[in-house]
Structure 1
Amino acid sequence: MHDLLRLHAAEEARDRHTPAEREAALRRAVAHYTGTACAGARVLAPHDPPPPPGGDEPGHPPFPLPDAAAAMDWFDAEHTNLLAAQQAAGGHGWDAEVCRLARALDPYHRRRGHLADAAAAWQRAVAAAGRLGDPALRAQAHQMLGDAHAQLGGTADALRHLAQALELAELTGDTAGQGEIHHSLGGAWERHGDDRLALEHARRALAVFQALGDTYRQARALNAVGWLRTRLGDHTAARADCTAALALLLQHPADHRQLGESSTLDSLGHIAHRLGEYDTALGHYRRALAICRAQGHSHLEADVLHRIAETHLASRRPAEARTAWEQARALYTAQHRTADAGRVRELLAGLGGPPS
């Protein structure tokens, strides 16, 4: 909307409608965005905990999102409005909608690498959940904010929020939630530089999901264990873990497993590279890359491209390495991952040849 048209619309609303009418209209708009975003999240991440239930406005059904491609298109088009809807909900004290929108936006934010937006959304959810006084909502909000901080490199803040989340999950007896938090703690401690403590948390998450019989989360935890084992140099055991993770994932329908599958294939590629099996590594990476692109997971796509470039370089194919690194750098830059983009820029400079 043009700025002048927006100003005119706001003036007309103030002149022609009462405050109660304007608030009711805003509530309907927020409800529509929240309902559609929740439906989109269920399409994009069917294994994730669903957004908390809310009172959708009657007569305003969500926009139809039949598949992941439609959901990603809608989130891309409406992302700015969705963030504004969450801010408006917070400003009016609609705390349940703040929490629902944070949960609903998370699968999209992760796929597109909108890490700062994810952190901001979960920061608002932490405040809203605190006002609601629901310990389960508080635990989830602290966990997801901690996860977002970890991915942004703020590991001290991440560990603080995750410790609060674990305390709340233990207080309420939420076993599955504790498994999720241990999984997040594994990622946070890895980024903090302590792979051994990260592996301990990954194993605790795996034990929880095995006890619950949750094969999808078992697979995700097994992949995390394998990834950390290969970082610690135990490549043979790591391969066994990640191969078992992939076998568990293949028990699930293709549209339910693909994000976990791409991450596990990425791990298997990295393990093969560390073992000097470069062709095998490239095969895993290319399968992971195809899934990332089909699913719109540009955040993981950038990392896979970076590792493809490393494998090409190890195989003495510098031209192919340059192509992959240039693609990775473009994605890192678009995602505001400045440290990753800078690292790739230095690697490209080290290749020589024409500047990119």
Structure 2
Amino acid sequence: MADVNHTAFRPGTFLLVGIPGLEKFHLWISLPFFSMYIFALLGNLVLLFTIVREQSLHEPMYLFLSALTVADLLLSTTTVPRMLAIFWFRVGDISLGACIAQAFLIHFIFVAESAILVAMAFDRYVAICNPLRYVTLLTHSVIWRIELAAVVRSFCLVLPGFHLLLRLSYCRNRIIPHSYCENMGIARLACTSIKVNIVYGLTAALLSAGIDVVLIAVSYGLILRTVFQLPSAGARHKAMSTCGSHLCIIFLFYAPAFFSFFTHRFGGHSIPRHVHILLACLYVVVPPMLNPIIYGVNSKQIRETVMSMLSWMGSQRN
């Protein structure tokens, strides 16, 4: 009879606890997270505005960068405000629907952003290894199709996992030891077996991020081979500078994401829970904060455009 009651139960709300074990430090932890979120918002909005406004930046690399910027804004805004509400006001209650919606958006954005990074790697491959075909291969219509394909692929891969999540039956425990809702965090509250969820999650990860990492590695392997064959030291330095900023962003994106993904499924008790949750929280705010800084520093066109905009605003005030 108890099993029947468990099977029929549907929680009205879940309770997010923040970072378990560090509750008394939540206020202090919130300060750097709030600062990083504000920097992420301002940096990405300025970068996006600059690319949209400046006609000379309507090139494939910057159009893909604008898509990455939108994804970063969505990722941080989907998670950080609620996280801060937990840290500041201890408002951790979230409805089942809102929790699943937040988890869906996080996974959807991750898979879409992974595809954008592949597109950016392909863009650099064509620009460096086959520059004569750059304009004909990466037209605006092709770029829009690539970005649309990234969104469609993400939706098709992520949606079945959340259909499986909705079919689960939940126990009376409604506490999620996390600062935001995550697929496996919700699934682990179920009374029924979640083996199908785990298998599908691994399969979707291999079909998206796993393949994407291989494609990026192949692209940059071919790029490096071409770069080292360039006769001019200046050309090699310019190419390596551009690729270096991309590789920094790729590392910042995949390293914490894979750590969180595999820890949630296989980490067990080998890694303290508060370390895992803290790193997962940093993942949704650090890359969105650093991406516009990395690109702003390494792109002369963006730096000059931003400086001219600031000079124009200053002259208007005077």
TM-score, with structure 1 as normaliser: 0.26
Return the structure number with greater relative CO, CA threshold 8 A, min gap 6. Answer: 2
